[in-house]
Amino acid sequence: RIIRFLNGNGTPQLAALTDENQVFELPYKDLLTMVEKAKQKNVTALALVQEFIQLSLPLEAELKDLTLLVPIEAPEVWAAGVTYEKSRDERNYEATGGKLNASTFYDKVYDAERPELFFKSSAARTIGPDKEVYLRSDSNWQIPEPELGMVLNREGEVIGYTIGNDMSCRDIEGENPLYLPQAKIWKNSCSIGPAIRLAETVDDPYQFQIICRIYRGGSKVFEDSASTSQLKRELGELVSYLVRENTVFDGTVLLTGTCIVPPHDFTLLDGDRIEIEIPGIGILNNPVKSQVQQP
């Protein structure tokens, strides 16, 4: 796994994280530079990392002592929607005011050939591990959306996998589908990290478990888990629609949709803490904070 952290001089440092959670500094500016270097040497990024691990010693500091940064400064984060049955059912609930037997455009997109893809975030709006995700002040129904993220290069090849939180306002989304950008995009509404698992180390991306926990006042108020085996669509299918007639930048992250939704009466509050875990990638931890009001 690849991480970034702030070193003693206050500058970002790229590093490899082993299965034993040992941290080895890597001599590259970022993951994209490392992948480029591997291509030039005609080796995999994994082989390059293994070479450094064999030649160096791990840091004495433990992972928990490091100030982690976003593992990649993704120029854009895109997201797929309604890729799990659970997501379709919950959107129907929002859009119909709870009439579960009503048919909506969410049913249509779930079965359509073309997936739902939307622009989620830019580098300036995306935060990393342990940073605060913000709430909107004009929504009363806000949830985290725990999702597997694919890190892509400009050709749409998957470089690695990460964890993403597609923070969402269910009331704004349910009021009118045209409000989707406001229900999805605001300051600190997207979190990614803590690590990127190199694609070549993943045998089967449909076997990731996703776990979400929400803590309030020190107690756990929500926990649920799901698996990427429940995805309705293939990951390659999502990427192929993203790159179609599009300019995609190196390091773009594509979130693959949520399969975990807290109960209908749940909304995030200032002071909550969200943990999203994907074993094999890590735990993305973010405190929740009300938006700081502009004077």
Residues making contact with Mg ion (CB under 5 A): 145, 166, 258
Which residue, 166 or 250, is less far from ligand DO4 as judged by CB?
A: 166
| Nearest one of 197, 119, 114 to 151, comparing CA atoms | 197
Residue 285 in the binding site for ligand DO4 (CB under 6 A): no
Q: What does the alpha-carbon distance between residue 237 and residue 254 come to, in Å, rounded to a whole number?
A: 12
82 binds ligand DO4 (CB under 6 A): yes
Candidate list 66, 79, 169, 198; residue touching ligand DO4; CB under 6 A: 79
Q: Give which of Mg ion, ligand DO4, none residue 87 binds (C-beta under 5 to 8 Å, depending on kind).
A: ligand DO4
Q: 13, 87, 285, 286: which one contacts ligand DO4 (CB under 6 A)?
A: 87
**Based on CB atoms, which residue is closest to Mg ion, 21 or 209?**
209
Q: Does 94 interact with ligand DO4 (rule: CB under 6 A)?
A: no
For residue 12, what are the β-bridge partners? 6
DSSP 162-221: EEEEE-EEHHHHHH-GGGHHHHH-STT-EEEEEEEEEGGG-S-GGG-EEEEEEEETTEEE
* CB closer to Mg ion, 166 vs 277: 166
Does position 145 interact with ligand DO4 (CB under 6 A)? The reply is yes
Per the DSSP assignment, residues forming a β-bridge with 277 are: 211, 283
Closest alpha carbon to 229 in 93, 83, 127: 83
170 binds ligand DO4, rule: CB under 6 A: no
Distance, CA of 113 to CA of 192 (rounded, Å): 28
E strand or H helix that includes residue 240:
helix 235-243
Are 164 and 212 in contact, with CB atoms under 8 Å apart? no
> Among 45-53, 80-88, 186-194, 262-270, which window interacts with ligand DO4 (CB under 6 A)?
80-88
Q: Nearest approach, Cβ of 150 to ligand DO4 (angstroms)?
A: 14
Contact status: 250 vs ligand DO4 (CB under 6 A): no
Q: Closer to ligand DO4 by CB, 74 or 198: give it.
A: 74
Q: How far is CA 216 from the centre of its chain?
A: 22
Residue 91 is a binding residue for ligand DO4 (CB under 6 A): yes
Helix, strand, coil percent content, the chain, rounded in steps of 5: 25, 35, 40
Strand partners, 266: none
The yes or no reply on residue 76 touching ligand DO4 (CB under 6 A) is no
Q: Which of residues 173-212 bind ligand DO4 (CB under 6 A)?
A: 173
* Three-state DSSP class for residue 24: strand
Interacting residues with ligand DO4 (CB under 6 A): 79, 81-82, 87, 91, 116, 145, 166, 173, 257-258
